[in-house]
Amino acid sequence: MDQDRTIDLRIERAVALIDTQAITTTTELRKLAADLNLSCSRFRHLFARSIGISPVRYLKSVRLAKAKLLMQSSQLSVKQVMAAVGCSDLSHFVRDYKTTFGETPTESRRSPTQT
């Protein structure tokens, strides 16, 4: 790993909290930055330098991956899945889902599970 990709321990903690869904909103990201004794801008900078994308974008990717898993493995409605992964706007959720996976959440449910 080159010097620019060294992961700060605070960022490792942030990633772990996002991955375990202890952090699910951008408001919680701001609180996390404060808990790590970082300003929001410094947190964003360190996160992007360490992970390669912004914390908000990373959070969105984790939410969408969890949503896809729920759509394919449960009978929850799209709105229930959306709420379960911490999203609050249906149109944005469906648009982001389709942009990421090339299909709507409902189409994901109909397609065979990829393993």
Q: Is 100 helix (H, G, I), strand (E, B) or coil?
A: helix
pTM for the full predicted model? 0.83
pLDDT at position 45: 95
Model pLDDT for residues 38-51, shown as the tens digit of each residue: 999 999 999 999 99
For the domain bounded by 59-110, which CATH number is listed? 1.10.10.60
Q: Where in the chain is the domain with CATH 1.10.10.60?
A: 59-110
pLDDT at position 115: 43
What lies within 8 Å, CB to CB, of 40 at 6+ separation is 30, 33
Average pLDDT over residues 22-29: 86
Model pLDDT for residues 28-86, shown as the tens digit of each residue: 999 999 999 999 999 999 999 999 999 999 999 999 999 999 999 999 999 999 999 98
